[in-house]
Amino acid sequence: MIIGKFPALRLRRSRKESWSRRLIQENSLSPNDFILPIFLIEGSNKRQLISSMPGVYRYTINRLSQIIDRAIRKKIPMVALFPKTKNSLKDELGTESLNEKNLVCRGIQEIKKRYKNQIGIMCDVALDPYTTHGHDGLLRSNTILNDETIEVLINQSLLQAEMGCDVIAPSDMMDGRIGRIRKALDKNKFHNVQILSYAAKYASSFYGPFRDAVGSKSSLKGNKKTYQMDYRNSNEALREVALDIKEGADMVMVKPGMPYLDVIKSIKDKFKLPVFAYQVSGEYSLIETAIAKKLINKDAIYESLVSFKRAGANAIVTYYADRLDKILI
Ligand code: PBG
């Protein structure tokens, strides 16, 4: 409802001075709003630049403290671990996902050993970093199998929970996996391990640089349209979220971020649960490249992040999380 009329009402009056603009601001960013993704690689003493994501690196396990120290200093509540698995360890079934010595498992253990509960750890549950075909599930005669994949995802979740992962984040989009994973976690005394469901994950072109970062780009056969959502749909996202809440999700993710602000808003309005947004690799690299070319200025980063808050997101997964110098600690 809009009340008032020009000239008695002049909205520019309250925009005139900086102090006044600060007083009437509706949204702001704090360190609590961010989750930092971290890429892991084999080897030792390496920090490797990801060519498709300027300013983002992959870390070996023994260099992890460099980035975790930084995240803690910046008061970021949680990091998300992603592995770049060696090609020689990938197979059709994604077997490496169940190896307790895989990169993610070692990463979790290293962080928990050094930092206890100073920072939360979230891990993706999906097979794409581990399969030769680059898909999130098991592939048989050109079909991604749903129920068979869930059995593997349950074991992947249990393994990550056992290693000390705080938040299990299924990003695979198989039907029914949240309920099965919740049940398995509870049965194994992991009732305090949280589930963040990538409930509304779209088959998107904006994941390109990430697939390069985890090394699944060249191997990906076909596309992910038979399990990730069609970008033309939004009601369907509400159905996905409703199902995941019933199955036991504590929080849900919308992904990508900026092209889907409407989806974030309608989920928040309807379900009132914690909703997270993933500002994905393609969004990051677009902004970074435009800044480098001086097409836009750095404030565009803050503008993009505040848009998620306006839409109702509780937190944002972003590759900028540890480099936001203008955010008050
Ligand atoms: C895999 C996964 C993807 C991302 C996070 N987890 C890519 C995909 O689904 O192909 C993308 C993140 C990004 O682009 O930053 N399940």
- What are the pLDDT digits (tens) for 10-21? 999 999 999 999
What is the rounded CA–CA span in Å between residue 108 and residue 104?
A: 6
Tell whether 320 is covered by a domain: yes
Question: Please, which pLDDT band fits residue 218 given cuts at 50, 70 and 90?
Answer: confident
- What are the pLDDT digits (tens) for 57-83? 999 999 999 999 999 999 999 999 999
198 lines ligand 1 (CB under 6 A): no
Q: How far is the CA of 211 from the centre of ligand 1 (A)?
A: 7
Q: Are strands 47-49 and 34-41 parallel, antiparallel or unpaired?
A: unpaired
Domain count, the chain: 1
Tell whether 16 is covered by a domain: no
CA distances, 21 to each of 4, 13, 27, 30, 326 (Å):
20, 10, 12, 18, 17
CA-wise closest residue to 278 among 202, 181, 180: 202
Tell whether 54 is covered by a domain: yes
Gyration radius (Cα) of the chain, Å: 20
Among candidate residues 84, 90, 224, 255, the one labeled active-site is 255
227 lines ligand 1 (CB under 6 A): no
Q: Among this protein's residues, is 265 annotated catalytic?
A: no
Tell whether 307 is covered by a domain: yes
What CATH number should be reported for the domain holding residue 193? 3.20.20.70
Give the bridge partners for 143, in sequence order.
Answer: 140
Write out the residue range of the structural domain in which residue 157 sits: 30-324
39 lines ligand 1 (CB under 6 A): no
Tell me which of 81, 97, 128, 131 to substitute to probe ligand 1's pocket, judged by most ligand atoms within 8 Å of the beta carbon. Answer: 128
Q: How far is the CA of 11 from the centre of ligand 1 (A)?
A: 42
Which residue's C-alpha comes closest to atom 11 of ligand 1?
207
Tell me which of 58, 254, 280 to substitute to probe ligand 1's pocket, judged by most ligand atoms within 8 Å of the beta carbon. Answer: 280
Q: How far is the CA of 148 from the centre of ligand 1 (A)?
A: 21
Quick one: average pLDDT of 219-243?
96
Confidence check: pLDDT of 145 > 60:
yes
Provide the residue count of the chain. Answer: 329
Give the bridge partners for 254, in sequence order.
Answer: 200, 277
Tell whether 12 is covered by a domain: no
